[in-house]
Amino acid sequence: METLLNGIISALAAMVAPGVTTKQLDEQAERLCAVHGVKPAFKGYKPPNFGKEEGFPNALCVSINEEVIHGIPSDRQIVEGDVVKLDMGIEQDGQFDDGATTVLVGDIDPKTGHILGTSATARKLVKATKEALDAGIAQAKAGKTTHDIAAVVEAVAKKYDVHVIHGYGGHGIGEQLHMEPHIPNEVAGEAAPVKLEKGMRIAIEPMFGSNHGFTQVAKDGWTVKLRNGGLAAHFEQTVTIE
């Protein structure tokens, strides 16, 4: 199932281009779930202790530029230079999977390999966040702890001079979309480390900001965005501890 979700997210990422609306991406996410016989885990989902009566309205979260997570698809058109985050969950046979990627929008410059229309800041931010995901996955082994993951994610942020998004992180996953333990992206202020045991499934979820790590929730009650602007990147993968 983890491979299936990765494939769905990769297919959606390949659709991201100037002129495409975030609603079109969400509609395709619904179609892909139907094709593969899985349920979109986000649609109708209400996080624990969430104040709103309505659940999330879509299958896919699409967050752009200063938006970090939980962006609601709409008629907004993607433009060259955007930093687009795609976050999606699926349910199959009573088990959940959760993943995310960040896409830089534009054609590739054949001389430099850079994405045309994107800033050096955006390219560095996305590179750092993906490297942090890989570093976190490398720590996801039996006998390690949640703080081992947090420490390497935080170290990558410092290496690239970008900022961990405060207050958010990964989570346990399995028969529910969000379970214990919390998988932090920074060590300071977090609860006691939780030892990782064979068979546990966790979603590792680094989120970085270009200028700072402070956020606010938009008026729609869902979209988490950087408080004072800048760019954000987000990657996530579900892994099984071995």
Per-residue pLDDT of 72-101, as tens digits, reads 999 999 999 999 999 999 999 999 999 999
**Strands, sheet with 201-204, edge to edge from the N-terminal-most edge strand:** 179-183, 170-172, 201-204, 237-240
- CATH number where 115 lies: 3.90.230.10
CA distance 20 to 79: 8
The token duo for 88 is 């999606």
Tell whether the model's pLDDT for residue 109 goes beyond 90: no
Residue 37: predicted pLDDT: 97
Residue 112: predicted pLDDT: 76
Residue 116: predicted pLDDT: 66
Q: Looking at 67-71, 109-113, 206-210, which range is the least confident one? A: 109-113
> Phi/psi of residue 69, each to 5°?
-150, 165
**Which three-class secondary structure state does DSSP give residue 97?**
strand
CA distance 150 to 155: 8
**Interval 227-240 mean pLDDT:** 96
Instruction: Round the average pLDDT of the chain to a whole number and report it.
Output: 94
List pLDDT tens digits, range 169-219.
999 999 999 999 999 999 987 778 999 999 999 999 999 999 999 999 999
List pLDDT tens digits, range 136-166.
999 999 999 999 999 999 999 999 999 999 9
Instruction: Indicate the number of domains in the chain.
Output: 1
State which H helix or E strand residue 124 sits in.
Answer: helix 120-138
Host domain of residue 16:
2-240
Residue 159: predicted pLDDT: 98
Report strand pairing: 60-64 vs 83-92: antiparallel
Q: Among residues of the chain, what percentage have pLDDT more than 70?
A: 97
Residue 169: alpha-carbon gap to chain centroid: 9
Q: Is 79 exposed, middle or buried (0-12, 13-18, 19+ CB in 10 A)?
A: middle
CA angle 173, 212, 218 (to 5 degrees): 65
Closest C-alpha to 178, from 192, 163, 166, 168: 168
CB atoms within 10 A of CB 140: 22
> How confident is residue 3, by pLDDT bands cut at 50, 70 and 90?
confident
> How confident is residue 51, by pLDDT bands cut at 50, 70 and 90?
low
Tell whether the model's pLDDT for residue 47 goes beyond 90: no
Q: CA gyration radius for the chain?
A: 17
CA distance 27 to 36: 15
Closest C-alpha to 61, from 79, 40, 77, 81: 40
> How confident is residue 49, by pLDDT bands cut at 50, 70 and 90?
low
